[in-house]
Amino acid sequence: MNIFKIFLGNTEQNQLELIQNMCGSITTEVWPEVERLELFGKYQLKSDHKRRLRERLGSYIKDVNALDLLDKLLTLDPKKRIDSDEALDHDFFWTDPLPIDLKLEKLSNSMFEYTAQSFKRNQFNRQPTKPVVNEQHYDRVY
């Protein structure tokens, strides 16, 4: 399994199947307000999938806090899912090795999809700069 393609479906139906195989069946017991969604009921969804995120990704993600954070971010019910503030306050970001300041370059243009092409054109016209090589080794990528 390629961990970066765990939810890469070919169709909407296939996408929902992949999500259910990992996160469990999408039912009103798990997500009480799901039936309010316009397309709920239009697809045939199995109701017998158990949540297997931790067991399926546990062999790829060895950090217990990272796995817990991912599990909480992929909760089906949005009311039970952690928000960005809670995610940033998760133990994953507060245990060793602590994240470092990446000193990212501030972008001068918007990176929204509708303006990304103009940003790419501007970047293409710039003179190339010599890449900075960082000799440090990090256990995590943020």
Is the pTM higher than 0.75? The answer reads: no
DSSP code at position 92: G
CATH at 9: 1.10.510.10
Q: Residue 111: is its pLDDT beyond 90?
A: no
Question: How do residues 17-34 score in pLDDT, each as one tens digit?
Answer: 999 999 999 999 999 999
Position 123 in a domain? no
Position 89 in a domain? yes
Position 139 in a domain? no
Q: Residue 76: is its pLDDT beyond 90?
A: yes
Q: pLDDT: is 140 or 109 the higher one?
A: 109
> What is the pLDDT confidence band of residue 52, given thresholds at 50, 70 and 90?
very high
Cβ atoms of 43 and 12 closer than 8 Å: yes
Cβ atoms of 28 and 35 closer than 8 Å: yes
Position 115 in a domain? no
Q: Residue 124: is its pLDDT beyond 80?
A: no
Position 103 in a domain? no
- Give how many domains the chain has, as a whole number: 1
**What is the pLDDT, as a whole number, of residue 101?**
74
Position 9 in a domain? yes
Position 133 in a domain? no
Position 74 in a domain? yes
**Cα separations (Å) of 74 from 83, 92, 129, 133?**
11, 15, 39, 35
Minimum mean pLDDT range among 47-56, 101-110, 130-139: 130-139
Q: Residue 114: is its pLDDT beyond 70?
A: no
**What is the domain range of residue 22?**
3-94
